[in-house]
Amino acid sequence: MTTPLRIAVLSAWHVHAEEYGRAAVDHDDTELVAVWDDDAERGRELADRLGVEATTDLDALLARDDLDGVTVTAATSDHVEVMAKAIGAGKHVFTEKLLAPTVEECDRLIAAARAADVRLTVSLPRLTHGYTLALRDILDAGTLGRLTYARVRLAHDGSTADWLPARFYDASEALGGAFFDLGAHPVYLTQLILGDELASVRPTYTDQTGRGVEDNASVTVTTPDGAIGVIETGFVTPASPFTIEVHGTEGSVLYGFETDDDGRGVMRLTTREGSSRVDLPADQPILFAQWAGSIRSGVDLEENLARARSLTALVDVASHAALAGAPL
């Protein structure tokens, strides 16, 4: 293990590739050394922006003794192959969501990482934000009573404003559209709120811009005790605040429906005693930094892996149900 940890970006396919590369540049205990991409031009463009070398030879890069870890921002369809190679080479892995297309493949990657004693972490960034930490405290305290309803919405105009790369609509690479990518965030937040055990999953996917994958999606889930969760996402919304609402028999929490003077979302708790603004704690360190810390400590981020697995499970079920044209 080197000091600082030496990191490479595996593929510029995803729009967050540069973000994770810069995280490696900015973190005190990591150094970015290379960008790999099977598309030489795409990889070279990112490498030039980050000031490191580019390569199209993945095997040679992973064989380097001075490489400690990789960030994986390859096409979703390539995740299993690329991560399996990295894990097999003994490199620690920080990956964009989804971890893998299926739960079975998630399990194989997680088992391989454990066997190789490498740290595997999935980017689920909104779990580290102050509003999520405050919501967890409210849920853990039982303040809302028995939960009855939750709704999480996150959408943008990537399709209608045409700023998402065309590859995001290629089902052979992306495996899906808005729900497979942006929808991951409201999915794992809904699972945090309502739990992973679901009685039903009912998806509604539409393709409003005719690109061949869903660009507008809503998935309704129910829990065994009757709570309803609504997960909303899309690439066709010019102005839609990120919002969370959770309701129970004793109270409600709303986040993002109003903002403070700095434009940050406000969380409000309403109970039988009245309504009050919730003070939000500071964000936790970003997951890249937590991953780097886990490499040094040798301790897996277990909750992260569990939530990544559950995320894949729900996205996979919803997408199969949508393709079948019927609820599961």
Domains of the chain: 5-124+286-293 (3.40.50.720), 126-284+315-324 (3.30.360.10)
Write phi, then psi, for 70 (nearest 5 degrees): -140, 150
Omega into 4 within 30° of 0, i.e. cis?
Answer: yes
Strands 92-95 and 120-122: parallel
Residue 22, pLDDT score: 98
* Cβ-contact 134, 319 below 8 angstroms: no
Which residues sit opposite 218 in a β-bridge? 204, 232
Model pTM score? 0.95
CA proximity to 235, closest of 155, 294, 293: 155
Residue 327, pLDDT score: 44
Q: How many CA atoms lie within 13 A of 61 on its CB side?
A: 27
Longest alpha-carbon distance in the chain? 64
d(CA 190, CA 147): 12
10-residue mean pLDDT series, the chain (328 residues): 95 97 98 98 98 98 97 96 98 97 97 98 98 98 98 97 94 94 97 97 95 96 98 95 97 96 94 96 97 98 98 94 66
Quickly tell me which residue has 């303040």 as its tokens: 143
d(CA 199, CA 187): 15
Residue 12, pLDDT score: 98
CA proximity to 113, closest of 96, 88, 95, 94: 88
Question: Cβ contacts of residue 226 below 8 Å, gap of 6+?
Answer: 148
Which residues sit opposite 233 in a β-bridge? 154, 217
Residue 251, pLDDT score: 98
Around Cβ 174, how many Cβ atoms within 10 Å? 21
